[in-house]
Structure 1
Amino acid sequence: MTDSGLLDKKLGVEDGGAGRKSKKKPKGEDAWRPLGPRDPFAMLDALPEKKQQEIQKALHLFALGPSPPRSLQEAERHTYRFWDTQPVRRLKDNATSHGPIVESEAGVRKDPYSLPQGFFWDTLDLNSSSVLRELCALLNDNYTEDDDNTFRHDFSPEYLQWTLQPPNWLTQWHCGVRVSANKKLVGFIAAAPAHLRVYETLRQMVHVKFLCVHKKLRLKRMTPVLIREVTRRVNQQGLCQAVYTAGVVLPAPLSSCRIRERPLNVQKLMEVNYPGLKPDVSLQRALRFNRLPEVRKRCHLETPPPIQDDDGKVTDMVSFYGTAFRVLNHPIHTDLRAAHLLCAVSSVPEPTDLIEDALVLARAKGFDVFTALNVMGNTTFLTKLKFSDSEISLHYYLYNWQCPDISPDKVGIVLPS
């Protein structure tokens, strides 16, 4: 059964039931509306949240097939029809050289790649409040979702502008796909400028992020077309490399890092069954274990907070950013706020006090959980400050660049998305 057929059954709009009763003649304004099946997107949006989740779960089970591999063992048995055609590292390659996998071509394709019939490209103007609201709606309902369908991203227009409009951003790198019939936004991919050092090579490239296709259109194979199109637009600016991250294994990770989590609002996290907490621990025990100081050791710490000595010299700095999630079908809680460590630089070998102050500050600002990757020198404080050792991995990739693997402690960037 296709996803559209299943959706029609759920919504009760199959033509098979139309013969039981004669259709009433529309009156008033409805008389001017064309007869025929209604817009399935509008019908889905009109349903209660719980019913939408049931339909989306069914679509996932019946339409999307096997889930993407999340381990190297699974990836070795997986067939990558699209990525095998791209200039990326291969899973079993032990690269020793450094440089582009393919050299840039003299001519870059001028025309956009073809989309399936009934869809068209639209370069999104993120300075438009209405376009930002459309993009938020697409990403919040379709970008990522936990396996239990309990939490869903709740991106704000301000957050999207912050992450998609860094210095030197280009409008043409915000690629949208719309339905021709109703102009609904159903696909998106973006690129942002990035200046990276890969081993000893400094390279101007882009950070590709927010690849998203509406759940009902996953069988249209739009993802490869979105990637090719943003690649074409980036190539037009003379750039041939990109960095990107994913929670699944693609060909082939440059580095695989772990996401570590530190509870801040323990009671709320337990009440919403947050997966980062151990289910067999009582509330009182969890509160004692995750207790933080009431005040910061450095009273002037703010976000982002550079710490200065008596001579005005900056000695320490820590920065974090926040994202929000919707909590679905909970009788009390409707949202969850997560803080994410962006960077920490300290004049002392172990910046434990600095990060602990950041935890206290994040809790005071209303965040429920604090996350950090085991990159850079973060391992020096993660265990001491009781960050849980989760099984969630984030894989770093480079497009069209060959080099040896990089261990997590040598990764020096965190890519918000």
Structure 2
Amino acid sequence: MSKTGNNKGNNENAASNTTGEGDNVNTALISFEQEMRNAPPGVQEQLRALLQQMDVNGAVSGSSGSGSGKEAKSMEDHKFWKTQPVVKHDEIVEVDGPIESDVPLDQVRAAPYPLPKEFEWSLVDVEDEKEIKELYELLTLNYVEDDDAMFRFNYSANFLKWALLPPGWKKSWHIGVRVTSNKKLVAFISGIPQNVRVHNTIKRMVDINFLCVHKKLRSKRLAPVLIKEVTRRTHLEGIFQAVYTAGVVLPKPVSTCRYFHRSLNPKKLVEVGFSRLARTTTMARLVKQYKLSAETTTPGLRPMEEKDVGAVTQLINKYLSHFELAPHFEEADVRHWLISRPGVVWGFVVENPETKDITDFFSFYSLPSTVINNPKHSTLNAAYSFYYAVQTPDEELDKITDEAERKIARDDAVKNRLMRLMQDALILARRNSFDVFNALNLMDNTLFTEDLKFGPGDGYLHFYLYNWRCTTIQSEKVGLVML
């Protein structure tokens, strides 16, 4: 129900957190991925399926969140998930659609699920400063950590308000658990509404996030009760499908993406242990390798404004139509998610100087991590690639009947434009004091990650759909970016 971004870099120039046999496996994996990109499209699909199966079975060494070398549990070991409407590990999906039918409102459970006697349900008022502080403290001390307990997400109060109060938000979906005796907040789960397109079907879904239970209460089995309770409450609103992500392998990922990292402050990344200086280089050489220009180069690049909302909405929906798992944005969504908010999210558009048309845009958000037990640094400032869109020559592409040729033509049309945009995104992130820029290998990210010196990390993010069967979607066909 959460992301796994607290993974460390793992590129040959600056970083590796695995040694010995792990290094050999990761090197082989990177070589495998490079060969896969050079293979014919039909062969690529077979190789990707093999690579994903390797990941699901825990065969990829050094993957934080995708099992860290442990094999995925069998369905019998998933005592909770085998009771839920999710695709089983060994199930072959050929047709998309709901697993269970919608339930009439009068058949939805009316009462909340019971909690252990020492706990009680509580709605968390995200607009109340006292309660948002409680939520911040719960997440800061108990949410996602990397496997080595070196980094922990540090969500700000402003970030949480942005994440939890989008258009259509419901207070009843900000669900807390408190200790009955002293009212201390010890667990939380949230849902936000979102229109999600799966292949050719747009469904109103709920995006489940921030599932967190206090470390001292993990044995109380509160997480399954939280999931059932948020499901019950979304059913009461007539929504029966959900989307969520996790760093662990559950039944059954619809897609798996890998984290890539671009160093912006390589010296600090080495000092906090996110990266490691290779034996064959020096710090001065490393800093020079990742040095960026001081100024952006895209003509017409400027911060996104309210007046751009309509044009960006059209641009992003057209661009996301190329992907098989993607949101469908209304103007209110674009206004909320993509206009810059100080310290939270940055949004930029490219305006044609002559026509004044908006031709491209990109965005990134801030999600720092607390650096645990480090004598020099307390915070790692990480920027995450969010949504972007570039103009594509769709009319010309539609004239190409061969699928492989059409893909090559599209990639060629997108790559140069996207490369310049993301180069500028890196410059702007560095200007705003970020230490690292993170991106998953979804959308068209593979068109720029290698050339812009991103390195593969050791973390994987698995995408899941609740109560919806879906054929497997390759990472580059995922257009959904979850916080």
TM-score (norm 1): 0.81
Partner of 2:414: 349
The one-letter code of the counterpart of 1:391 is D
Instruction: Identify the range of structure 1 (322-331 vs 178-187) with the bigger mean alpha-carbon deviation.
Output: 322-331
Percent identical pairs in the alignment equals: 43
Q: C-alpha separation between the residues in 2 aligned to 1:184 and 1:360?
A: 43
The one-letter code of the counterpart of 1:311 is T
Larger radius of gyration: 1
Partner of 1:8: none
RMSD: 1.7
Instruction: Identify the range of structure 1 (82-91 vs 338-347) with the bigger mean alpha-carbon deviation.
Output: 338-347
Q: C-alpha separation between the residues in 1 aligned to 2:259 and 2:196?
A: 22
Q: C-alpha separation between the residues in 2 aligned to 1:344 and 1:71?
A: 31
Kindly state the Cα deviation for residue 215 of structure 1 after the two structures are TM-superposed.
0.4
Helix, strand or coil: the match of 2:414? coil
Q: C-alpha separation between the residues in 2 aligned to 1:349 and 1:190?
A: 36
Kindly state the Cα deviation for residue 344 of structure 1 after the two structures are TM-superposed.
2.1
Partner of 1:307: 350
Partner of 2:441: 374
CA gap of 1:200–1:340, structure 2 versus 1, over 3 A, is same
Helix, strand or coil: the match of 1:304? strand
Kindly state the Cα deviation for residue 152 of structure 1 after the two structures are TM-superposed.
1.8
Helix, strand or coil: the match of 1:132? helix
Specify every segment of 5 or more residues in structure 1 that has no aligned partner in the other structure, as ranges.
1-66
The one-letter code of the counterpart of 2:379 is D
Task: Spell out, residue by residue over 1:287-319, the C-alpha distance to the aligned partner (whole angstroms, 9 max, x if none).
Answer: 122121121113744331110112111111111
Q: C-alpha separation between the residues in 1 aligned to 2:290 and 2:229?
A: 46
CA gap of 1:155–1:249, structure 2 versus 1, over 3 A, is same
Q: C-alpha separation between the residues in 2 aligned to 1:104 and 1:73?
A: 36
Kindly state the Cα deviation for residue 246 of structure 1 after the two structures are TM-superposed.
0.5
Which contiguous aligned blocks of 4+ residues in structure 1 show a shift greater than 4 angstroms?
none
Q: C-alpha separation between the residues in 1 aligned to 2:70 and 2:102?
A: 33
Q: C-alpha separation between the residues in 1 aligned to 2:469 and 2:450?
A: 33
Partner of 1:407: 474
Kindly state the Cα deviation for residue 69 of structure 1 after the two structures are TM-superposed.
6.3
Q: How does 1:16-415 map to 2 (within 5 A)?
A: 70=67, 74-77=71-74, 79-106=77-104, 107-275=107-275, 277=276, 279-280=278-279, 281-298=281-298, 300-302=301-303, 303-309=346-352, 310-347=354-391, 348-350=413-415, 351-415=418-482
Helix, strand or coil: the match of 1:225? helix
Kindly state the Cα deviation for residue 385 of structure 1 after the two structures are TM-superposed.
0.4
Q: Which has the higher helix share?
A: 2
Q: C-alpha separation between the residues in 1 aligned to 2:375 and 2:182?
A: 35
Kindly state the Cα deviation for residue 329 of structure 1 after the two structures are TM-superposed.
2.1
Helix, strand or coil: the match of 2:291? coil
Q: C-alpha separation between the residues in 2 aligned to 1:229 and 1:244?
A: 16
Q: Which has the higher contact order (CA 8 A, sep 6+)?
A: 2
8 Å CA contact retained: 2:67, 2:249: yes
Number of matched pairs: 349
CA gap of 1:108–1:153, structure 2 versus 1, over 3 A, is same
Kindly state the Cα deviation for residue 71 of structure 1 after the two structures are TM-superposed.
7.0
8 Å CA contact retained: 1:101, 1:402: yes
Task: Spell out, residue by residue over 1:305-345, the C-alpha distance to the aligned partner (whole angstroms, 9 max, x if none).
Answer: 11011211111111111111112222221111110111221
Q: C-alpha separation between the residues in 2 aligned to 1:356 and 1:411?
A: 22
Helix, strand or coil: the match of 1:189? strand
Task: Spell out, residue by residue over 1:192-245, the C-alpha distance to the aligned partner (whole angstroms, 9 max, x if none).
Answer: 011011011110011000000000000000010000000000000000000000
8 Å CA contact retained: 2:96, 2:468: yes
CA gap of 1:158–1:227, structure 2 versus 1, over 3 A, is same
8 Å CA contact retained: 2:74, 2:89: no
